[in-house]
Homo-oligomer: A and B are copies of this chain.
Amino acid sequence: MPETSNRKEREKIQHRNEILDAAEEVFAEKGFHRTTVEDIASRAEFAVGTLYKFFPGKEELYQKLIEMRCVQLRDEVLAAMDKHSDPGAIIKSFIDTKIQLFKKYYSFARLYTRERLGDRFTDSDLWWKIAAPLFDEVYTRLEQVFKEGIEQGLFRDDIIPWDMTIALDNLTDGFMFQSLMFPDKLSFESKFETMVRLFFDGVSKNK
């Protein structure tokens, strides 16, 4: 009997994930407003009613989706950074991991870049209560890395750690945006070197 219960439990989680995956795809393709619940349901091969067994509404489904991916991203980024101890290596690994995740969660990347500053994200609790604290963990970690780099004499001592953090994240995001919007001119991956060099040349003490 626990066997059956486990299977059912696993199936339920599986179905929930199928719905989230379908939603991610459709939201990425059409944006939040142009996506109908019917769209998601048929993509997931469920009836609309079934979606409402798992999520109270379209809005909450969207939020859970964003939250889930943000948690994954934070976890994977921090895990990757924790494998290194040298500030330079940590930052390189941050950039590298963002690229990997961009490819791994391509639909989400599109969704995120789409909605990042849309009304869904900025106004609601989604940003302030869910995403921002997760971002903040990564930002705080990066800020710390810059501080350590300065202390260890690796980075110039006139840089402001927080500003460098913002700059680094937006630079990587910016190349991501560009590769989505000018896909012919710029492949994100190939620019790894450009970013790293630009950034380190600006930051490092002795070049």
Contact = CB atoms under 8 A, between A and B. Distances in A.
Interface of A: 30-31, 33-34, 113-119, 122-123, 127, 132, 156, 158-160, 162-164, 166-167, 169-171, 173-175, 177-178, 180-181, 185-186, 191, 194-195, 197-199, 201-203, 207
Given A33-B119, A119-B31, A119-B33, A191 B163 contact: yes
A160 B34 contact: no
A187 B96 CA distance: 29
A194 B160 contact: yes
Contacts of A127: 181
A169 B174 contact: yes
A31 to B, nearest CB: 3
Interface centre among A30, A116, A160, A198 (most CB of B within 10 A): A198
Contact of A166 (B113, B174, B199, B202): B174
A191 B198 CA distance: 18
Given A115-B118, A194-B160, A207-B207, A170 B175 contact: yes
B178 A166 contact: yes
Given A163-B194, A170-B170, A173-B174, 4 more contacts: A118-B118, A162-B186, A164-B198, A170-B174
Given A170-B173, A174-B170, A174-B174, A116 B119 contact: no
Top 5 nearest A-B pairs (CB, nearest first) are A170-B174, A31-B119, A202-B202, A201-B202, A33-B33
A117 B114 contact: yes
Contacts of A163: 186, 191, 194, 198
Interface centre among A34, A117, A171, A197 (most CB of B within 10 A): A117
